[in-house]
Structure 1
Amino acid sequence: MTNTTAAQRVSVIGLGAMGTALAKALLAGGHEVTVWNRTPARAEALVADGAKVAASSAEAMAAADLVILCVLDDAAVREHIEPAAARLRGRTVVNLTTTTPEQARSLGVWAETEGIELVDGGIMAVPEMIGGPGAFVLYSGAAVAFERYRSVLELFGRAEFVGNDPGAAAMYDVSILGGMYAMFAAFAQGGAMVRTTGGSAAQLAALMAPFLQAMATLLAAQAPGIDTPAEFVQVQSDEFTAAAIDLIDTAAVESGNPTELYGVLRRALTGL
């Protein structure tokens, strides 16, 4: 239907910090970009870069073969695309709004019924990273549509297709973010603990960051224990891990910083 080696007609719905960054990357890539935002003033800087401003989200959708949504939530996505279903028929919609996996699946069912190619995405970057080497975006859903527009989507960062299930990208997204927040929680706890010895969270950060980077390389070795547990031989027993976590928990109590964090980690990692 389209030739992604040439300039594409792309519309971006939603011009918050992330939507604006996406639109700028598309413009820098030489594409014909139409934008819409509930607050029109946010489009002014993009106009100077060559973007066209639509009077409504429906008008923006009708102006493009590839429609990208980056709005507040699932309800906002529905608000815009459901009334425009007839205009979107035969087009590709890439939803880069943060939603739950089930919301993505529900939208995928709706899109298939309406004859719309839906690709759901999860952005693993902050706006300032878009287009840079550290950014990547997870995609799932309509595989053919993803491949058709892969070269366009790669303007945002490395494009990773994780499955035909429309909810897969959202599931990987929340799983990665879960790891991030667990790390931040452990750092906050550790920072409070080391301060009781006259140390500082700043020094802890300097020591912890390279250690965690090294430990992250062990994730691949742990994956078979989840994917094929019957065949997996643990290097460290659950009992040993539980005892190590108990020691850390005791140190937290002794420092005057008791927490439920380590009990949760003990149960999650060992089931004990």
Structure 2
Amino acid sequence: MQVSVIGLGSMGATLARLLLAAGHDVTVWNRSMAKASELVGAGARPAGSAAEAVAASGVTLMCVYDYAAAAAILHDAAVEAAIRGKVLVQLTTGSPQDALEAAEWATRHRAGYVEGAIQAAPSQMGQADTPLLLSGDRAAYEQVAGLLRVIAGNLVYLGPAIDAAATMDFATLSYVYGAYAGFMHGARLAEVRGVDIVRYGDIVQSIAPSFGAFFRHQAGVIASGDFRVSESPLRISVVATQRILEASADAGIDTRVPRLFASLLAQAHDAGLADSELAALIQVFRVSARPG
């Protein structure tokens, strides 16, 4: 299959290499074509411009620094003429609003558009379990799904709402960064108390699957709206987070992370949610989002 790759940073170059290895006819373009030399040596076709790259294939994968960089490339008369009747798979990381604006541009220029969010590092690409979140028109998605499985075996199609992939990407990254902040705080607490940090990491890895299952259960509770206790009463976490805060203060370390946790749970307690399932904490976030 003929496919073009625009953007040859570490991720874009990895995508092109995987596609070449799978036997696809790959055209590549980057603002600095020096980055294409290794790929050209491996059989890729160098394009003289972004428009030439788009014109060379029915499908173009784009993976550049951000949506501003993407717009600077795409919002060009020659590119806009070349994109008609073709499919653009946007793998640049951006916001839900970025996705909506990019899809509007593609529709205006009569191109198919699929929004993608890669949830792996370059070294993790091309595996059976490599996750790639996708959203957009189903016909366009089905047209490119086989091609995309070369770069990521775990395709997660989230439906036709074009901003779904970016939204889910931000949602899952919120979890990752929140967990990482907690991990760092825990590492510092262990360090101060003389606990083996490597052993701490081993234990965190071992408990991750069970907590993943617990979080999935909590998501189901939120979706159902039934906050009767089913796994963990919220009041237990009110006490637990307060104890972590106190232990951190006693250890003389930064308390911002446990203070945030304890504050959120205290708000839930004060709202009368102590004897509800822990997932009822979502109601604190819902109230916080209301204007005023």
TM-score w.r.t. length of structure 1: 0.92
Partner of 1:82: 75
Partner of 1:108: 103
Give the match's secondary structure for 1:120: strand
Partner of 2:243: 247
Which range moves more in the overlay, 124-133 or 213-222?
213-222
Q: How many residues align?
A: 265
Relative distance call for 1:245 and 1:254 in structure 2 (3 A) is same
Partner of 2:271: none
Q: How far has the Cα of 1:234 moved from its partner?
A: 4.2
Q: How far has the Cα of 1:192 moved from its partner?
A: 0.9
**Equivalent pair of 2:88/2:111 in contact (CA under 8 Å):** yes
Letter matched to residue 105 of structure 2: W
Asked if 1:68 is matched to 2:61, the reply is yes
Partner of 1:42: 35
Which range moves more in the overlay, 69-78 or 129-138?
129-138
Relative distance call for 1:101 and 1:271 in structure 2 (3 A) is farther
Give the match's secondary structure for 1:160: strand
Letter matched to residue 205 of structure 1: G
Name the Cα RMSD after superposition.
1.6
Q: Given the alignment, which residue of 134, 156, 160 partners 1:160? A: 156
Which range moves more in the overlay, 143-152 or 262-271?
262-271
Partner of 1:3: none
Give the match's secondary structure for 1:212: helix
Partner of 1:211: 207
Letter matched to residue 42 of structure 1: K
Asked if 1:98 is matched to 2:99, the reply is no
Q: How far has the Cα of 1:25 moved from its partner?
A: 1.1
Partner of 1:58: 51
Q: How far has the Cα of 1:265 moved from its partner?
A: 2.7
Asked if 1:142 is matched to 2:137, the reply is yes
Percent identity over paired residues: 32
Residues in 1 aligned to 2:218 and 2:228: alpha-carbon distance in whole angstroms: 9
Q: How far has the Cα of 1:258 moved from its partner?
A: 3.2
Give the match's secondary structure for 1:119: strand
Partner of 2:112: 117
Q: How far has the Cα of 1:250 moved from its partner?
A: 0.9
Q: How far has the Cα of 1:269 moved from its partner?
A: 5.9
Residues in 1 aligned to 2:192 and 2:60: alpha-carbon distance in whole angstroms: 53
Matches within 5 A, 1:121-270: 121-157=116-152, 158-230=154-226, 233-268=229-264
Q: How far has the Cα of 1:270 moved from its partner?
A: 6.9
TM-score w.r.t. length of structure 2: 0.86
Give the match's secondary structure for 1:125: coil
Partner of 1:5: none
Which range moves more in the overlay, 204-213 or 165-174?
204-213
Asked if 1:20 is matched to 2:6, the reply is no
Residues in 1 aligned to 2:47 and 2:206: alpha-carbon distance in whole angstroms: 48
Which range moves more in the overlay, 12-21 or 253-262?
253-262
Partner of 1:10: 3
